[in-house]
């Protein structure tokens, strides 16, 4: 065993660092089991450090001091708690949550009596002093170590549950738990290492010492997956697909940046570069510069079963191994210039406008285009929390119950909610002068926005059940002409291309593609023996602006340029779907969540970690600047794909 010598690091630089004498106390802390890889460390380190520190710390001036040892047994004590009669550590820290799964936020420090007397505190709080005087520096602390260090009211309700946790462990015995969990981890490790793609490439990269594959490992398996071409599958992709299969995984660096950097081969430069690229803990940036930023971890406990382990292996096999015809028979993602046009004809089936981001939209027979921001007034308003966070259905599902409608003749946005008795009219011509203006940030873009009077914000706060503020984007251009009605024209020239849309001006969905998806979901339900009538998936589940009809399913995948009426649009590619499409609200006004249709889409519409359905469009204005022309879309208009 070797120790890497690092430069001494201190929060405050000392003018000089004296060489420690034999009376100086030093602390050596190490985990009994690595929470990243599951690798167990030899507890012989306790005796070596205490009795012969020079054996490991050779050449270091610190080998002269008195060494005390702390074992971090939070992970290891669940299956192999340290025997303090054999390994006389001075301190041991443990986590009840990792022992029993409950309670969270409650740990324990085990300290030897002689070692505990060396611990000092420079502050005090409730329950830790015998007496104190408020206005002078006088305090007498309690003498027993538990009274001295347990600040404030302890979590006595959680402590009461610890008794029941130990009762379970004692009934099962730790040795039996250790054998049980080790066999599950061994099975998963062996199966993962044996997985191969059709071309023979390994599917899985395990982290930890390969020589110690079947020995010296706890019930933890940490890994990343590779595609057949050698590229990595991101841990977020694995986690998202696993959750659709009812499997909960831990992903990322597991609060262990040292082991994470070591096993993933990330240099200091890599870590800084990843941060500068926008990566922070718990985000979705799982692959940066073609390198993973974290890993996937499977952990087993006394309640885990062989069926759990096998289900996980089956999940990896079915979702991440490329075999001949690995994508099920049917329509696959179109790439390049391919298309299945033939003699098929397409037409515009419906138009939907969503004035307020993440709220319900309304269907129209015809609607004007903004020359730079898609459909006129589409996602022109947004709700924000009092702290400035932009609110969406991902965090506030109740937003889907807010219905909207715009009367272009009157210049009024009407808003309704089942939680509000009064319909709210917002005049977006006259009301635009009533509120102040400010800047907000969304998706890395800065917006100039208009705020509204307090009564408007109170209405929306009641509608979603939390305080919020309504903003209107006025940094986007609304250069259009209402030439189908007798209202006055309105024009505002401001440089922008999007209102509050996430990725593009328009989302197009094919009615035939939705029908094919519904059939696949229904077939899967029948195969699983699900009872009851299969529910038909509505195109509105995907919040499209444009729904087309005609042709074959997924023909839109291969489109590059299309013409609707006399308007030209450019395809920006497929729309990456998330779990929001699994949430629907029923007629009773209740939210229902399932794994579908995202689970089915993942089985045949997944590419490079993304699940595509529908295409994103950008409007290509053909009229010269200053001439508005007929900037309207009309239901029933012909759709001509891949026009030159």
With a CB cutoff of 8 Å and minimum separation 6, the contacts of 382 are: 356, 357, 390, 391, 440, 442, 449, 470, 471, 473, 500
Instruction: Give dist(CA 375, CA 361) in Å, integer.
Output: 12
242: nearest Cα among 259, 225, 254, 260: 225
At 620 the three-state DSSP class reads: strand
At 605 the three-state DSSP class reads: coil
Locate the DSSP E strands across 558-600: 561-564, 567-576, 583-585, 591-593
Query: Please, are residues 254 and 34 in contact by the beta-carbon 8 Å criterion?
Result: no
Handedness of CA 150, 151, 153, 157 (dihedral sign): negative
With a CB cutoff of 8 Å and minimum separation 6, the contacts of 557 are: 333, 334, 335, 339, 574, 612, 615
285: nearest Cα among 244, 241, 236, 325: 236
Tell the burial category of 218 from Cβ atoms under 10 Å away from its Cβ (0-12, 13-18, 19+). Answer: buried
Token couple for 111 = 């300290």
Instruction: Give dist(CA 609, CA 518) in Å, integer.
Output: 22
Residue 255: active-site member: yes
Tell the burial category of 307 from Cβ atoms under 10 Å away from its Cβ (0-12, 13-18, 19+). Answer: exposed
Token couple for 124 = 């005090």
378: nearest Cα among 497, 297, 290, 495: 497
Catalytic residue among 255, 400, 420, 473: 255
With a CB cutoff of 8 Å and minimum separation 6, the contacts of 6 are: none
356 DSSP assignment: B
| DSSP H/E element including 261 | helix 257-264
Residue 277 burial (CB count, 10 A): 11
Given the DSSP bridges, would you call strands 232-233 and 250-252 parallel, antiparallel or unpaired? unpaired
Residue 322 burial (CB count, 10 A): 15
Catalytic residue IDs: 255
């Amino acid at each position: 065993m070797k120790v890497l010598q690092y430069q001494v690091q201190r929060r405050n630089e000392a003018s000089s660092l004296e060489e420690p004498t034999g009376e100086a106390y030093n602390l050596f802390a190490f985990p009994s089991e690595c929470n990243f890889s599951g690798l167990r460390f030899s507890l012989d380190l306790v005796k070596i450090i205490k009795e012969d520190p020079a054996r490991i710390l050779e050449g270091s001036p610190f080998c002269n001091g008195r060494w005390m040892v702390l074992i971090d047994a939070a992970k290891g004590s669940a299956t192999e708690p340290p025997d303090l009669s054999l390994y006389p550590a001075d301190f041991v820290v443990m986590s009840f949550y990792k022992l029993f799964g409950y309670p969270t936020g409650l740990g324990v420090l085990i300290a030897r009596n002689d070692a505990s007397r060396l611990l000092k505190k420079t502050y005090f709080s409730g329950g830790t002093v015998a007496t104190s005087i408020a206005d002078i520096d006088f305090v007498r602390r309690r003498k027993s170590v538990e009274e001295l260090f347990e600040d404030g009211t302890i979590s006595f309700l959680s402590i009461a549950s610890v008794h029941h946790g130990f009762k379970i462990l004692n009934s099962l015995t730790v040795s039996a738990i250790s054998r049980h969990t080790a066999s599950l981890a061994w099975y998963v490790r062996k199966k993962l290492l044996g997985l191969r793609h059709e071309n023979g490439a390994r599917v899985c990269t395990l982290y930890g010492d390969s020589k110690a594959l079947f020995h010296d490992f706890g019930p933890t398996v940490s890994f990343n997956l590779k595609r057949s071409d050698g590229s990595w599958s991101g841990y977020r992709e694995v986690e998202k697909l696993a959750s659709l299969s009812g499997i909960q995984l831990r992903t990322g660096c597991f609060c262990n940046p040292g082991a994470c950097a070591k096993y993933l081969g990330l240099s200091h430069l890599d870590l800084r570069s990843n941060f500068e690229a926008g990566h922070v803990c718990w985000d979705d940036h799982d692959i940066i510069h073609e390198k993973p930023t974290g890993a996937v971890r499977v952990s087993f406990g006394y309640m885990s079963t062989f069926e759990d382990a096998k289900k996980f292996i089956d999940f990896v096999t079915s979702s991440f191994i490329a075999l001949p015809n690995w994508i099920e028979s049917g329509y696959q993602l179109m790439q390049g210039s391919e298309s299945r046009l033939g003699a098929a004809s397409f037409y515009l089936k419906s138009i939907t406008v969503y004035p307020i981001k993440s709220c319900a939209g309304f269907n129209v027979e015809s609607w004007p285009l903004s020359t730079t921001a898609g459909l006129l007034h589409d996602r022109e308003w947004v709700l924000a929390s009092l702290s400035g966070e932009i609110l969406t259905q991902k965090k506030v599902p109740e937003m889907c119950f807010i219905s909207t409608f715009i009367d272009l003749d009157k210049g009024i946005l009407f808003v309704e909610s089942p939680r509000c008795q009064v319909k709210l009219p917002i005049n977006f011509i006259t009301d635009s002068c009533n509120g102040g203006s400010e800047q907000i940030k969304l998706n890395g873009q800065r917006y100039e926005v208009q705020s509204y009077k307090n009564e408007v914000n109170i209405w929306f706060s009641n509608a979603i059940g939390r305080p919020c503020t309504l903003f209107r984007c006025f940094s986007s251009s609304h250069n259009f002409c209402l030439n189908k009605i007798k209202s006055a024209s309105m024009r505002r020239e401001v440089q922008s291309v999007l209102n509050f849309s996430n990725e593009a001006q328009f989302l197009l969905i094919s009615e035939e593609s939705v029908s094919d998806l519904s059939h696949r979901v229904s077939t899967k339900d029948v195969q699983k023996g699900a009872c009851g009538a299969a529910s038909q998936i509505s195109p509105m589940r995907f919040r499209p602006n444009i729904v087309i009809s005609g042709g074959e399913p997924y023909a839109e995948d291969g489109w590059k340029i299309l013409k609707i009426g006399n308007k030209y649009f450019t395809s920006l590619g497929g729309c990456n779907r998330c779990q929001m499409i699994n949430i629907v609200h029923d007629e009773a006004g209740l939210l229902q969540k399932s794994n579908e249709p995202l689970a089915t889409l993942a089985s045949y519409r997944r590419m490079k970690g993304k699940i595509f359905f529908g295409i994103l469009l950008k409007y290509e204005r053909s009229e010269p600047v200053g001439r508005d022309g007929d900037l309207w879309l009309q239901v029933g208009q012909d759709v001509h794909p891949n026009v030159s």
